[in-house]
Amino acid sequence: MSTAQVLTAAQMRSAEQALFDAGTSVSQLMDVAAGGTAEWIRRVAAGRSVTVLCGPGNNGGDGYVIARLLREAGNAVTVIAPLEPATAAAKEARRRWGASTKQTGTDGVVLVDCLFGSGLSRPLAIEHALLLADLAARHRYRIAVDVPSGIASDSGAVLNERLPQYDLTLALGAWKFAHWSLPGRALMGQLRLVPIGIAPTEGAAQVINRPRIAAPATDSHKYIRGLLGIVSGTMPGASLLAAVAAQRAGAGYVKLLGRAADPRTPPDLVVDTKPLSEALADPRMAAVLVGPGLGRDGAAKAALGEGLRRAQALVLDADALVLLAPNMLAREVPMLATPHDGELETLCRTFGIIAEGRQPRVLALAKMTGMVVLAKGPDTVIAAPDGRLAIGTPAPTWLSVAGTGDVLAGIAASRMANGADPFTAACEAVWLHGEAARRSGPAFTASQLAERVSEALAACL
């Protein structure tokens, strides 16, 4: 069983159908899902009263089973059911509940939302939205089962205004895209996964978890660990940030290319002022980063062109993404692009990408360009040309400060110089970036973040 996969509603239905085909009944699966969920709710409730809001489908059926199990555990339980059960399994769960239900609001301590689950794709009816809001206001703790009612499972879109803020969301069987996508994610509180026996699904997206990174081998030297070139530009501070991060992310040798040394350049960072074409001709140059502080003038475009013509592996960030044109991608080399939302919009215009939603756009851009695309931001998405998709978990919001993107690019380029393919390097970089932020505390600068990268790396050894 994969605990990291992220499924669409259609993939989840197929995964459940595989269990049914293997002999598990819908009611049996409901008992498994509700049993694991009820245990979480029992711990939160700690003997206090619970109100379960049940809808007409199998998510509502889960609610009836949860209510019965909590009652058996000694909790005072009220079931609110504005609609009659509509599926055979939900009807059976209602029968086994064996007690009356209410259609209107009631006071309590813990509210459990089982109104609608991951299949919802349209807004709640007005009367159901008002009932949910009323119940949320009457309860101290709010728990959503699978996906909060009123949030689209496949996108995280908020389908109704003034939906409640939950304290805990219990995902059933597998993560859904809504669990990791804004704006819906912001309403879900803590996230926990309740296993129900879902098998790994081919082609499923994955949550980015802590990577396993090996320490250098006993016979390593700086070139075995990877020589990384970082192209300097009109704003050298950005490339310096990337270089400091890269030095702490595993590369054996980091060089700044193409500009005279800045007074802030640390003594352990080599500056190569040869013409860029000569510097990039070094066969030991394992990867090249172009973009941080590059500028957008003719010299910057020429530097980007040299990188695209000569590098063995390439990371493109910042200004390089604005300057990039389709006719510049003539060579097939391992390549990673790291756009923020504005740069992603520019790339989509440049390459004629028309798609609805952030994830479809990132996937389409990767397929069109042959690059792995790391769309960074509060809900980071990584897409490969072959359709692989990885989702970043929430990182500290203190990352929203200038220069942290340069740090991320430096980490990713360092991992590629160290031998990782672009998709793996992107996933490793996102995790290391977030972990470095967690270790930096509040209100850090980008340079302070870069200094913490080696601590994040140590957590992966």
Give the range among 92-106, 178-192, 311-325, 370-384 with minimum mean pLDDT. 92-106
Q: How many CB atoms lie within 10 A of CB 446?
A: 23
Share of the chain above pLDDT 90, in %: 91
pLDDT in tens, 317-358: 999 999 999 999 988 999 999 999 999 999 999 999 999 889
For residues 366-388, give the mean pLDDT: 97
Q: If pLDDT is split at 50, 70 and 90, which confidence band does 260 have?
A: low
pLDDT at 287 over 60: yes
Structural domains of the chain, with CATH: 5-206 (3.40.50.10260), 222-458 (3.40.1190.20)
d(CA 391, CA 383): 9
For residues 165-182, give the mean pLDDT: 97
3-state secondary structure at position 252: coil
Q: What is the pLDDT of residue 1?
A: 41
Q: What is the pLDDT of residue 74?
A: 95
pLDDT at 105 over 80: no
What type of residue is 37? Answer: T
CA angle (99 as vertex; 106, 164 as ends), nearest 5: 30
Tokens of 192: 């926990």
